[in-house]
Amino acid sequence: MNEPLLRELAPAVIGVLVRRGADFASAEDAVQEALIRALDSWPDDPPRDPKAWLVAVAWHKFIDTARAEASRRGRELAVDAEPAAGHATATDDTLRLYFLCAHPTLPESSAVALTLRAVGGLTTRQIAAAYLVPEATMAQRISRAKRRIAGLPLDQPGDLATVLRVLYLVFNEGYSGDVDLAAEAIRLTRQLTALTDEPEVAGLLALMLLHHARRASRTGPGGRLVPLGEQDRSRWDTGMIADGVTILQAALARDRLGEYQAQAAIAALHADAAATAETDWVQIVEWYDELLALTGSPVVRLNRAVAVGEADGPQAGLLALADLDPGLPRYVAVQAYLHERAGDLERAAVLYAEAARAATSVPERDHLTRQAARMRQLLRP
């Protein structure tokens, strides 16, 4: 069974049903039923035209459901209006479907779930397992999202920035259960690059590839977090890095810089260094300046302070940190690192321990706790 093919076809089939007059929620439900039937029947009897088969089965399911609800809804769907099976429209509504599923009126968690189901072709069970929530909870989340966008036309202009943010949220979930969300986000973003000519889409794809290329080296035994400077660079995926750099260079050549392109440029500079000591921190600071001009984000300022500390020395990094809100996530951890680099191990030990207490994940907490213990060990006579 070619599950990737089913996932690729799902949004296009939903688009066909909507074009034929189905509302989005009903079309999405019908296509899910067709996908389940395909998983059962295709291994023994594969169709000549998979998309036409899915369209025909989903359309019949939609008509059956519409007939059953005709009395309640007060209208009948004419059977003779059904287009012939095997003549699926060539119109590709996938891009519009991206915009609809990531509609600005939806909470981000709902937009993510709906995108994975309608555009990604994942089942509710798979999405629930990936996000470690009960299937019933995820089903309710998806149902609420579909109700909220009910009645919105498929041809309504969408917000690309929202779509990209949703895809990046999916990517950052990484891997859990039987669905690799990072790989799924890369697949969907590749698909999106083929549907739109925006360089920021290519920038996001490059960023994902450059980060994903380091995946194997990010954790040690038992899920232990391995910081960038300590990673085994021989485990980085050089083919994926080359792919990301090529995509990024083509996007930057368009001279329409966006935040994902700037982030990808920073990731590319890290990937280009054969060793931590060879990292071009001066260029990285320059790219953080570009990113800061685009976003004004306090998190970008925090990351820039680290880069300044590497390029111009830890005291310069601490000076860049001084203007920021100490309540920022990772602020204390960055402060601890810069104090360690400045040789103030006693202060670094205190700050590492403080940062560990505030950590939001077990791997991060354990890493910071080990850093605090390392400082105390170095301080012993």
DSSP annotation of 219 reads B
Query: Is residue 5 exposed (0-12), middle (13-18) or buried (19+ Cβ within 10 Å)?
Result: middle
Return d(Cα 119, Cα 141) in angstroms, integer.
Answer: 16
> pLDDT by residue for the chain (381 residues), tens digit each?
567 788 888 888 888 888 777 888 888 888 888 888 888 888 878 888 888 898 898 888 888 887 766 544 444 444 434 443 333 343 356 778 888 888 888 888 888 888 888 888 888 888 888 787 899 999 999 999 888 888 776 666 568 888 899 899 889 876 655 678 888 889 889 989 988 889 999 999 999 999 999 999 998 888 899 999 999 999 999 999 999 999 999 999 999 999 999 999 999 999 999 998 999 999 999 999 999 999 999 999 999 999 999 999 999 999 999 989 999 999 999 999 999 999 999 999 999 999 999 998 899 999 999 999 999 999 987
Whole-structure pTM over 0.75, yes or no?
Answer: yes
Return d(Cα 320, Cα 311) in angstroms, integer.
Answer: 12
Q: Which two tokens stand for residue 207?
A: 């960023």
Q: Which residues have CB under 8 Å from 99's CB, separation 6+?
A: 156, 157, 158, 159, 160, 162, 163
Return d(Cα 110, Cα 93) in angstroms, integer.
Answer: 21
- Do residues 131 and 181 make contact, with C-beta atoms less than 8 angstroms apart? no
Say what the pLDDT of residue 77 is. 40
Query: Is residue 306 exposed (0-12), middle (13-18) or buried (19+ Cβ within 10 Å)?
Result: buried
- Do residues 146 and 198 make contact, with C-beta atoms less than 8 angstroms apart? no
Say what the pLDDT of residue 157 is. 56
- Do residues 102 and 115 make contact, with C-beta atoms less than 8 angstroms apart? yes
Return d(Cα 24, Cα 245) in angstroms, integer.
Answer: 38
Return d(Cα 175, Cα 340) in angstroms, integer.
Answer: 33
Say what the pLDDT of residue 302 is. 97
Q: Which residues have CB under 8 Å from 176's CB, separation 6+?
A: 129, 130, 131, 132
DSSP annotation of 175 reads E
Q: Which residues pair with 179 in a beta bridge?
A: 176
Say what the pLDDT of residue 314 is. 97
Name the residue among 276, 253, 144 with its Cα closest to residue 199: 253
**Residue that the structure tokens 């038992």 belong to:** 222
Return d(Cα 110, Cα 112) in angstroms, integer.
Answer: 5
Say what the pLDDT of residue 273 is. 93
- Do residues 47 and 37 make contact, with C-beta atoms less than 8 angstroms apart? no
Q: What is the 3-state secondary structure (H, E, C) of 252-282?
A: HCCCCCCHHHHHHHHHHHHHHCCCHHHCCHH
**Strand, coil or helix: what is 323?**
coil
Return d(Cα 205, Cα 172) in angstroms, integer.
Answer: 13
**Strand, coil or helix: what is 180?**
strand
- Do residues 14 and 24 make contact, with C-beta atoms less than 8 angstroms apart? yes
Return d(Cα 338, Cα 315) in angstroms, integer.
Answer: 8
Which residue blocks in the chain are alpha helix, DSSP H? 3-19, 24-41, 50-68, 70-73, 94-101, 108-114, 124-130, 135-148, 160-172, 181-195, 199-212, 238-252, 259-272, 281-295, 298-312, 314-321, 331-341, 345-358, 362-379
Q: Angle 345-358/362-379 helices, nearest 10 degrees?
A: 160
Residues in the chain: 381
